[in-house]
Amino acid sequence: MTSSAFPSDLAHVGGYDWPRAPTTSSLKAGYRRIWEKLRVLDDQKADLMPDDLERLSGSLIPDDLWTALREFQFKRLDEVYLDWARHTDGPYTVCAFVTMPSVPQGILVDWAKDRGLDLVDGAAVPAGQGALIVPDLSALVRRNMEGRAAMRAYLAELDGASRNVLLGVSSWTWTYLAQTSAIEAVVSDARSFAPFNDKALAELIGTHMSHDAFKSAETGKDILSKDDDGALKDSYLKTLAARAFGCPWAALRLFDAAVNRQPDQKDKGENAEGKKLDEQATWLQDRAVPQLPNHIRRPSHFLLHALLIHGPMAAKDVGAVLPMTLPVGLPSALGRAGLVDEDAGMIAIREKSYPHVRRILSEAGFPLDLI
């Protein structure tokens, strides 16, 4: 999976080129969102889309696309970190690899295991050869007095480490630490996956899903068709890249959630010959951002924000990082809204809902992740 449209390197934190939606698209979305919040509009209208379409219950994204994307990103990690990670002589440095919460959990663990690198879960730097990979620093961060003392001690230990260390950290945890602690004095280099823009997404979708014709419900145009200059004619993917904040995993999940097609087209073999192109096309209609009930909106924002900073947490531990009394059943309510998952007593932001969660917190004025 190589293409000139794909990013060729990791992005330096602070230099992440956030994809932007076309202005008209942003204005339309903002206008729509206000009306949704005022409960004037309940569901999105799409006059251009045929009436007999259904949302797919399963996923349209083939497994080989996910695999190819993962391999592509592994190569980017190899190019930047592999030689450095196998380096055993000093001087030793601490690097951070910052990922959005929409990047699959454990991607750094899988890469490190695959490349035979040392992994450690706890806040310790055991002696050894080559780089030490800390897969998830977020799990070690606690936004309370004890947590800050522990983080200071850990940073001091990292500062004196006698081997290279790569910290895997969520973009929210990184931003919190960068703005409220001395982590940037200890970490010499922080990078993240580079953003996928509309062209990269078009390449990704076009290569692995070439048998489908995708149409935007907003404009009725084919989202993959290009003009003579090679630019995409429709702005759907540009908007998608912006809504996913450049994260290809988030973009593909939003794309998948937007799919509408005729029930008989789920099975490619049943494609009726001779049907008009409009009838055969797979239509894309973006789902609305979930609405939170008014009476739990504010505490929900604080809980979502805490989960983004700390990663998955046990319900009983939430009180240690949020000095406020949350309404009983709040995690369940957020689960019903499709924003969090509850599994074995752990609450976590639902990966596929991350773009919605970030947007909700952005609108509420909360401090956001900056990469």
Partner 1 sequence: MDTENYDLTKLFNDLTGWSVLQIGLVIAICFIAYQIVRFIVPRVAEHLPARFRLLVLNLIPLTRLTLFAVAVFLIIPMVFNVTLKNFVLVLGGLGVAVGFAVKDWATSAVAGIVAVFERPYRSGDWIRIGDDYGEVIDIHTRSVKLRKADDDVVTIPHSRIWSENIVNANDGEKTLMCVAEFMVAPDKPTTGIGDILTDVARTSPYLDWARPVKVIMRNEVYATRVQLKAYPFELRDQFIFITDLTDRGRDALIGAGISIVSTPEFGSYKQRSRD
* Binding footprint of partner 1 on the chain (CB under 8 A): 34, 37-38, 143-145, 147-149, 175-176, 179-181, 302, 305-306, 321-324, 362-367
222: left (phi over 0), alpha (psi -120 to 50) or beta: beta
Interatomic CA distance for residues 154 and 141, integer angstroms: 10
| Minimum gap (Å) between residue 170 Cβ and partner 1 | 15
* Beta carbon of residue 364, minimum distance to partner 1 (angstroms, whole number): 7
Q: In terms of CB distance, is 36 or 279 closer to partner 1?
A: 36
CA distance 365 to 371: 18
- Helices and strands (DSSP H and E) totals, the chain: 15, 13
Q: Which of 338, 267, 268, 250 is nearest to 300 (CA)?
A: 338
Measured from the CB atom, the residue of 180 and 332 that comes closer to partner 1 is 180
Q: How far is the CB of 5 from partner 1 (least distance, A)?
A: 32
Q: Which is nearer to partner 1, 179 or 225 (CB)?
A: 179
The least distance separating partner 1 from the CB of residue 149, rounded to whole angstroms, comes to: 8
Both tokens of residue 318?
């939430």
Closest separation in Å from C-beta 175 to partner 1: 7
Q: Which is nearer to partner 1, 223 or 357 (CB)?
A: 357
The one-letter amino acid code at 325 reads T
Of 352, 226, 246, 222, give the one whose Cα is nearest residue 20: 246
Residue closer to partner 1 by CB (options 20, 37) is 37
- C-alpha 234/C-alpha 219 separation (Å) is 8
- Of 316, 280, 324, the residue nearest 299 (C-alpha): 324
Q: How far is the CB of 363 from partner 1 (least distance, A)?
A: 5
Please state the closest distance from residue 145 (CB atom) to partner 1, in A.
Answer: 6
Which letter does DSSP use for residue 4 in this model?
T
Q: Which is nearer to partner 1, 176 or 236 (CB)?
A: 176
The helix or strand, by DSSP H or E, that contains position 207, with its residue range, turns out to be helix 198-208
Residue 121 CB, nearest distance to partner 1 (Å)?
24
Which amino acid is residue 175, in one-letter code? Answer: T
Cβ proximity to partner 1, 274 vs 365, nearer residue:
365
CB of 178 to partner 1, least distance (A): 9
- What token pair was written down for 185? 């004095």
CA-based nearest residue to 334, from 298, 287, 285: 298
Q: Give the nearer residue to partner 1 in terms of CB position, either 98 or 322.
A: 322
Decide if 354 contacts 100 (C-beta within 8 A): yes
Nearest in space to 259 (alpha carbons), one of 240, 238, 246 = 240
Nearer to partner 1 (CB atom), residue 160 or residue 323: 323
- Of 286, 200, 254, the residue nearest 61 (C-alpha): 254
